[in-house]
Amino acid sequence: MLTLSDVTIRLGTRAVLDGASAAIPARARIGLVGRNGSGKSTLLKAIAGINEID
């Protein structure tokens, strides 16, 4: 299981993600949907360890 709790990511002074939480069961297939610039790629990069979580 992948669990995220109250994740905040800032780029400079701008909070790209603020308070994101999720619980994803092992082997689950999910979709990440949102408007342009809503932080979808930023969240995935944080999960992969590319972006630092504040």
Q: How many domains does the chain have?
A: 1
What letter would DSSP give residue 43? H
pTM of the full predicted structure?
Answer: 0.77
Query: Which pLDDT score is estimated for 48?
Result: 93
Could you tell me if residue 54 is inside a domain? no
In angstroms, what CA-CA distances link 9 with 15, 28, 29, 36?
Answer: 6, 24, 24, 17
Could you tell me if residue 53 is inside a domain? no
Query: Which pLDDT score is estimated for 6?
Result: 94
Query: Which pLDDT score is estimated for 53?
Result: 82
Could you tell me if residue 6 is inside a domain? yes
What digits encode the pLDDT tens for the residues 1-54?
999 999 999 988 988 889 999 999 999 999 999 999 888 999 999 999 998 887
> By residue range, what is the domain housing residue 8?
2-47
